[in-house]
């Protein structure tokens, strides 16, 4: 009787302790099309941003220091920052672009 109970206990612990395979269903589709309509263009030291109304515009130098931070208030906006020559990183919402002022 004890031998039978021990064998049942052993079999149950083997089932509990054995690894099982679980498959996860990925039902999440990440579709973020809002950022595809934003365009950033540069002429001399003027930056034109279109399609980013309500977004924040940040300009960083190559050292990563933020040198400008403004809110884009309309769908097509021009900014004159009077930046010296060099490379900068422009971030509008989720869009990040590298620009060069010549």
User: What pLDDT sits at residue 12?
Assistant: 76
Beta pairing class for 86-92 and 95-101: antiparallel
What lies within 8 Å, CB to CB, of 94 at 6+ separation is 32, 35
User: What pLDDT sits at residue 2?
Assistant: 81
Taking the complete model, does pTM exceed 0.75, yes or no? no
Domains of the chain: 36-101 (2.60.40.3080)
User: What pLDDT sits at residue 35?
Assistant: 46
User: What pLDDT sits at residue 27?
Assistant: 60
Task: Report the C-alpha gap between 48 and 40 in whole angstroms.
Answer: 6
Q: Which residues does the chain have with pLDDT short of 50?
A: 34-35
């Amino acid at each position: 009787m004890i031998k039978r109970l021990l064998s049942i206990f052993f079999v149950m612990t083997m089932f509990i302790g054995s690894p099982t395979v679980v498959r996860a269903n990925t039902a999440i589709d990440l579709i973020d099309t809002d950022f595809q309509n934003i365009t950033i263009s540069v002429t001399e030291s003027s930056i034109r941003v279109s399609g980013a109304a309500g977004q924040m515009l940040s300009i960083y130098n190559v050292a990563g220091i933020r040198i400008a931070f403004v809110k884009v208030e309309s769908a097509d906006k021009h900014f004159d920052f009077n930046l010296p020559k060099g490379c900068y990183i422009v971030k509008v919402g989720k869009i990040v672009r590298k620009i060069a002022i010549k």
